[in-house]
Amino acid sequence: MTLDQNRLRIALQKSGRLSTDCQQLLKGCGVKLNLREQRLIAHAENMPIDLLRVRDDDIPGLVMDGVVDLGIVGENVLEETVMERQATGQSAEYSVLKRLDFGGCRLSLAVAEEFDYQGPKSLEGKRIATSYPWLLKRYMDSQGVKFKSVMLNGSVEVAPRAGLADAICDLVSTGATLEANGLVETDVIYRSKAVLIQSANPLAASKQKVIDKLLPRIQGLQQARE
Positions touching ligand ATP (CB under 6 A) are: 13, 16-18, 55-57, 74, 76-77, 103, 105, 171, 173, 192
Which of 223, 218, 225 lies closest to 26 in space, CA to CA? 218
Contact between 69 and Zn ion by CB under 5 A: the answer reads: no
- Min. distance of Cβ 13 from Zn ion in angstroms? 8
- Cα 170–chain centre separation: 13
Strands 183-192 and 105-112: antiparallel
Please say which residue, 92 or 210, places its beta carbon nearer to ligand ATP.
92
Contact between 185 and Zn ion by CB under 5 A: the answer reads: no
Q: Output 220-226 pairs: Cβ under 8 A, ≥24 positions apart.
A: 221/25, 221/28, 221/29, 222/100, 222/101, 225/101, 226/101
120 binds, among Zn ion, ligand ATP, none (CB under 5 to 8 A by kind): none
Residue 144 zone, left/alpha/beta (φ > 0; ψ -120 to 50; rest): left
Which span (50-58, 68-76, 162-170, 201-209) binds Zn ion, by CB under 5 A?
50-58
Please say which residue, 42 or 210, places its beta carbon nearer to ligand ATP.
42
DSSP string, 52-79: EEE-GGGHHHHHHTTSSSEEEEEHHHHH
- Min. distance of Cβ 73 from ligand ATP in angstroms? 7
Distances from the Cα of 197 to the Cαs of 11, 141, 187, 215, in angstroms?
10, 28, 28, 12
- How many angstroms separate the CA atoms of 112 and 184, rounded? 6
Question: Which member of 28, 33, 57, 137 binds Zn ion (CB under 5 A)?
Answer: 57
- Min. distance of Cβ 55 from Zn ion in angstroms? 5
Which span (51-59, 98-106, 163-171, 206-214) binds Zn ion, by CB under 5 A?
51-59
103 binds, among ligand ATP, Zn ion, none (CB under 5 to 8 A by kind): ligand ATP
155 binds, among ligand ATP, Zn ion, none (CB under 5 to 8 A by kind): none
Instruction: Report the interface residues with Zn ion, using CB under 5 A.
Output: 56-57
